[in-house]
Structure 1
Amino acid sequence: MKLVWPTPTQGAENVTEIVILASLENNSFIQMDTIQVGTTFHNEALVQNLKPSTSYRFKLLLLTKWGCMPEPEVCTEETRTKPEPRALRLRSEAQLADDSEWPNTQVYVPLKKEVERARKDFTLTTGQSGGVRKYIIGGEHKDLDQDKVLLVVGGTGAGKTTLINSMVNYLYEVKKEDEFRFRLVSQIEETQESGYSTKVKSKTKWVTAFVLNNTRLHYRLTVVDTPGFGDTEGIQRDKETTRYIKEWFSQKGPDGLDRLDAVCMVVKSSETRLTHQAQFELNQVVALFGKDMESNILPLLTFCDASKPPALEALKAANVPFKNYYKFNNSAFFEGSDMDEFQKMFWKLGVSSFEKFFEGIEILPVRSLSLSKEVCEKRERLEFQVIALQFKVAQEITQLETMRQEFEVMKNHEADIQRNSDFSYTVVEQRQIMCDLEGTGQHTTNCLNCNITCHESCAYSDDKDKEKCWAMTDGKCRICPLKCEWNFHKNLPYIIARIPLTIRKTNEDLKRKYEQAVSNKELAENMLESIAEQLMKTQSEINADIQLTRQHLRELSKIAMRPSRMTEVSYIEIMIANEKSNAENGWQQRVEHLEHQLKIAKAIAEANDPNYDPLAKYKQSTEGKLNFLAERFPKISEGWLADKAKSAVKKSKAAFCAVGNFLIGSEDNSNPAHKKRKSKMPVIQYV
């Protein structure tokens, strides 16, 4: 601070020292400085080392060789120092980075205070750790009652890290002539955390919220940073990222995420065409949100020049919804203070880009995440419904295939059966096995009643929390065939899987399975009746599941920006082909995850088709086969049809036709000769 005082009217030539005293906030005066006076009297001085934003009063003591001058002490009015620049204040508590990525400047990491209660840890399907966490930057700022939240997503290499770091320097008013810069995330950390590095595999993967206080904005800003999409672990890793975002939606209270001002998609401006993986990943993010968020999706295009970014057309071609976009070129933010004119121009452009961006954020409508939470919940229910549907269809097809094999056995051993001779045969059956997960850190939800795995990778390790598992609705499991209560489920160190095994059986096994002691029917007739009953029962259950799946799709279409995942099929198929073609390190595991997602995407697409029939390949039926089965088993036919509404008649007929087609094969039952057969079981005569 500069102090100025008048020259004394008398005795100025006798002054040898000028003592400057200061009082802080009306406390006692203390000596701040002493000026030695030579032949010329001093009328001003620059007082240094003052505290910012502090009230001071100053006074002067004019000393001569005889002591203090008898003149009155010179006092100043109370004055207040200017606030310390934001950048210097943040630097005072920051840590100098050991290994700077920018050799031309000093790089500091701001002090980050973690909000422990907001932290949520998960164990990934890969055995790694990760989750959501929250840090406060820039100290506390309780005076602000307004805040805004930005979710930042983008592919590895799109410039997301540099964009966030540049934003922090802009917000804390770092000047181009300053010899230091700030960074929140290093490029090395980002590369490792995203899993993109081929040399180092990250042990942790986090979605991190940075609460930025005391910036140049008049509100508190929260930037939610996500791991870069498109890493070497592929689609499974990206699904973990979207899972974290959904988990943050579900957290309640001030540490959760109940509102969002913008979803910022960081994309390279030079992208003329998004890769199929990039399209898939961006659509995964869009699929998290309700239709009300469409105007709040903002592409942030990096590495821009004066021309129109080609990435805009690429985003439109990928059906990414957006109404506005922002261009950035942050190349000058970390060039250091010794800039040439070209770099100074880019610094100015970078500052201008952030000014326009935050002006745009001001006018965006704030969006509650209640609709987005509903979208996430319905999408999860849809996915689990499809998984359950796939499970039932797979079981039914397996049963039918086993019956077909046994039917072939009966054809081949007709004489042995009539003579009651012993024989053996082999069939392929699905058997359960336990896949050990010991030491992987993966949590499961296994049903002790049904003896199946209902959720292979559960967030909850404590059995007391299994009611919160994704597989549960209203306290019951959606995956269990018996819809078991949640407390029948445990976290066990294994997954129960079904694999095909070749089993050797005997004629006694065949009899026990199909003969009924109270019946005089032939073994073959019992077998056909059993197949018909089983098929119709399961078909009814499958049809109910299909209707529920379609209901979920209809509900999603009303509220979600991406109601259906049908477009995923082509993306995933091409990604699988690329992985197999490139055969880069770890491609087999990535293909495995992709094929799993492809099955779900296809199942959802098929279920949305009104003509969808999961057992279609067993149903090339004709009216003759329907009549044949109805004639052979009138009790089953009449009982089934009598209890069903008109709409169910078609399903029942299809079920009977399926059995006939499955067992009789491609016979032409319209042939009148078939109707004249007099044998008790013409199908067993193998005509």
Structure 2
Amino acid sequence: MVGETGTGKSTLINAMINYIMGVRWEHKMWLEVTEIPEDQTESQTKAVTVYEVNAPSSPFVLTVIDTPGFGDTEGFDKDKRVSEALQQLFKSEDGIHEIHAVCLVLKGTDVRLHERQCYILDEILSLFGKDIVKHILLLFTYKEKQILPKRMKHFIKESLSKYVKNDECVSFSFDNCQSEYCDEEDRESYKTSWDNGVENFSKFFNHLDEINPKSLDKTEGVLRARKQLDASVGNLRDRIELAELKKRELEQTKTALDKFENYKEEQKNFQCVVDEPYKDLVPVNASWWHWTKRATRCKVCEENCHYPGCWWVSDLSWCSVMDDGKCTVCTGRCDYTKHVKDYNKYVIETRKVTKTNDNLKEQYEEKVGEKKSLMAKLEKDIQQMEAEKIRLVEKCYQCLEKLMEDALKCTCISSFIHLDFMIEKVKETGNQERVQKLEELKKRAIEENRGLFERLCAYVQQMKI
């Protein structure tokens, strides 16, 4: 069950469980499993919750996966935590490995699709693999009739045609009124709501009974790929920056060396000032409301492997960037036991240092007395730094390409933030075919997410903070 905050998802889940438990109008009672906030615009559910209902009168066991409402006041950070929690649930040995349906809960009283709903819809659909598309159901709340008005049919056509063919959209309507308190004299006026609810849930479960469950392997892979993409891009940005700074340092040394006309005779007097890159471990700028902003970092490679790290992980072998106990991000692919998650992260800084003949001798040994050989060695190191950067960009591109192949929605906002960086770096490698492919993806993302980029810019600024 997924949907925007305020669509009545918690009320609908309660109604569904009441139906399965056999609660009817004449019983004059109402079971409430999920907390219903007084302000329906604020989601009270902070984590993914699984309800398992095994009612004696029901021919099946009902499992409902309830997700926090998307798009509330906590913004992007909380929405990202939903995907992390779902991945944990789908990956865990005793978790959920197949589902019958993904139910998008929508407010039937809405007359149009506003920008926040566009973002929410894209983010929800980006959580799943392409193979789940025929298992998407639309549940409209606050509606008494099953017949959808023309404006709602237009809503479905415009909003979901990118993912589901219009004739494949299966929808159900619920009025969400059963739980409302009423005086004794008003009870009969609510009987229609109860009767409609029983009828609608009967149709809903009859439809589910005709659906074969779908494995979540591809969806879990999409969730993992998206997390690994985020982590890889963050890590690769640092490593590319470090490679570029090291290359600049070598070029500064080479330029200074080139000025010596007779290096063999003057080498004792050789010195030059260069910008030397180094890594520094600094505290994460985390406030009490941002307790999730901890970094998972490798102590061997001295790299940030996942920042912000998986908020739900206590055993780092379960972190999204780990595969069979090994890190998929850091340079050495180190074991998870070589990693730590805390409120510190590595940053790349530069400092002015003076290079002397002794420094070069220590670095290049016997070549130090021969200017030509030393220049060749410096040039080789520069080329190696450039090759390393190209390798890192290639790795990042492959991760993005894997996501484009499997994800139901690969042009969502959370993926778009990587495209400019990738386009810039792939251009530097000279692969025009890939540059064109990425630019086409960016163009499609802009067209599909038109009007959302002010929100995106705010998010990017938030991540920088």
TM-score range, shorter chain: 0.7 to 0.9
- Look up the match of 2:32: 183
| 1:265–1:299 contact (8 Å) kept in structure 2 | yes
Aligned with residue 418 of structure 2, among 600, 625, 634: 600
Question: By how many angstroms is 1:540 displaced?
Answer: 3.2
AA partner of residue 304 (structure 2):
T
Aligned with residue 304 of structure 2, among 446, 453, 469: 453
- Look up the match of 1:153: 2
- Look up the match of 1:257: 96
Tell me which protein shows more helix as a share of its residues: 2
Aligned with residue 291 of structure 1, among 130, 134, 143: 130
| 2:90–2:216 contact (8 Å) kept in structure 1 | yes
| 2:297–2:304 contact (8 Å) kept in structure 1 | yes
SS of corresponding position for 2:59: coil
AA partner of residue 432 (structure 1):
D
Q: 1:407 to 1:269 in 2, by over 3 A?
A: farther
Distance 2:97 2:125 in 1: 17
- Look up the match of 1:317: 158
| 1:460–1:466 contact (8 Å) kept in structure 2 | no
AA partner of residue 323 (structure 2):
T
Question: By how many angstroms is 1:424 displaced?
Answer: 8.1
| 1:210–1:224 contact (8 Å) kept in structure 2 | yes
Distance 2:52 2:102 in 1: 16
Aligned with residue 432 of structure 1, among 271, 280, 284: 280
AA partner of residue 306 (structure 2):
H
SS of corresponding position for 2:51: strand
- Look up the match of 2:461: none
Distance 1:315 1:527 in 2: 65
5+ residue gaps in structure 1? 1-151, 573-596, 620-687
| 1:459–1:469 contact (8 Å) kept in structure 2 | no
**Which structure is higher in RCO with an 8 Å CA cutoff and minimum separation 6?**
2
Structure 1, residues 3-62: CA drift from partner, whole Å, max 9, x if none? xxxxxxxxxxxxxxxxxxxxxxxxxxxxxxxxxxxxxxxxxxxxxxxxxxxxxxxxxxxx
Number of aligned residues: 415
| 1:447–1:490 contact (8 Å) kept in structure 2 | yes
Distance 1:313 1:500 in 2: 54
- Look up the match of 1:244: 85
Question: By how many angstroms is 1:190 displaced?
Answer: 8.8
Aligned with residue 479 of structure 1, among 307, 329, 349: 329
Alignment of 1:111-150 (within 5 A): none
| 1:472–1:486 contact (8 Å) kept in structure 2 | yes
Question: By how many angstroms is 1:385 displaced?
Answer: 4.2
Distance 1:471 1:517 in 2: 42
Structure 1, residues 423-446: CA drift from partner, whole Å, max 9, x if none? 986748454232157995876543
Alignment of 1:182-331 (within 5 A): 182-188=31-37, 196=42, 205-214=46-55, 217-253=58-94, 256-304=95-143, 307-308=148-149, 310-318=151-159, 319-321=162-164, 323-331=169-177
AA partner of residue 450 (structure 1):
C
| 1:266–1:302 contact (8 Å) kept in structure 2 | yes
Distance 1:270 1:516 in 2: 77
Structure 1, residues 392-425: CA drift from partner, whole Å, max 9, x if none? 32222333445566678889x989x989989986
Aligned with residue 353 of structure 2, among 501, 505, 520: 505
| 2:53–2:63 contact (8 Å) kept in structure 1 | yes
Q: 1:431 to 1:372 in 2, by over 3 A?
A: closer
Question: By how many angstroms is 1:222 displaced?
Answer: 1.5
Tell me which protein shows more strand as a share of its residues: 1
| 1:426–1:504 contact (8 Å) kept in structure 2 | yes
Question: By how many angstroms is 1:340 displaced?
Answer: 7.5
Distance 2:313 2:225 in 1: 24
- Look up the match of 1:358: 205
Question: By how many angstroms is 1:510 displaced?
Answer: 11
Distance 1:517 1:370 in 2: 56
SS of corresponding position for 1:534: helix
Q: 1:278 to 1:400 in 2, by over 3 A?
A: farther
After TM superposition, the score normalised by the length of structure 2 is 0.72
Q: 1:243 to 1:517 in 2, by over 3 A?
A: same
Distance 2:112 2:388 in 1: 44
Which shows bigger deviation, 239-248 or 361-370? 361-370
| 1:211–1:221 contact (8 Å) kept in structure 2 | yes
Distance 2:150 2:142 in 1: 9
Alignment of 1:617-656 (within 5 A): none
SS of corresponding position for 2:176: coil
AA partner of residue 533 (structure 1):
K
- Look up the match of 2:319: 469
Aligned with residue 540 of structure 1, among 372, 380, 387: 387
| 1:393–1:615 contact (8 Å) kept in structure 2 | no
| 2:242–2:348 contact (8 Å) kept in structure 1 | no
- Give RMSD over aligned pairs: 4.2
Structure 1, residues 192-234: CA drift from partner, whole Å, max 9, x if none? xx9x47xxxx7x8221112222265321211111111112221
Distance 1:277 1:179 in 2: 39
SS of corresponding position for 1:470: coil
AA partner of residue 155 (structure 1):
E
AA partner of residue 154 (structure 1):
G
SS of corresponding position for 1:358: helix
SS of corresponding position for 1:299: strand
SS of corresponding position for 2:418: helix
Q: For the pair shown, which has the larger CA radius of gyration, 1 or 2?
A: 1
AA partner of residue 350 (structure 1):
G
Distance 2:112 2:244 in 1: 42
Question: By how many angstroms is 1:263 displaced?
Answer: 0.8
Structure 1, residues 307-359: CA drift from partner, whole Å, max 9, x if none? 52645544543434363111222235424354377654444433332222122
Q: 1:157 to 1:510 in 2, by over 3 A?
A: farther
| 2:227–2:321 contact (8 Å) kept in structure 1 | no
Name the % identity.
25
Distance 1:397 1:473 in 2: 29
- Look up the match of 1:393: 240
SS of corresponding position for 1:325: strand
- Look up the match of 2:443: none
Distance 1:189 1:528 in 2: 73
| 1:161–1:190 contact (8 Å) kept in structure 2 | no
Q: 1:414 to 1:544 in 2, by over 3 A?
A: closer
| 1:156–1:230 contact (8 Å) kept in structure 2 | yes
AA partner of residue 327 (structure 1):
S
5+ residue gaps in structure 2? 432-465
Distance 1:546 1:496 in 2: 22
Distance 1:382 1:205 in 2: 25
| 2:296–2:306 contact (8 Å) kept in structure 1 | yes
- Look up the match of 1:162: 11
Q: 1:429 to 1:391 in 2, by over 3 A?
A: closer
- Look up the match of 1:613: 427
SS of corresponding position for 2:128: coil
AA partner of residue 367 (structure 1):
K
Question: By how many angstroms is 1:266 displaced?
Answer: 0.5
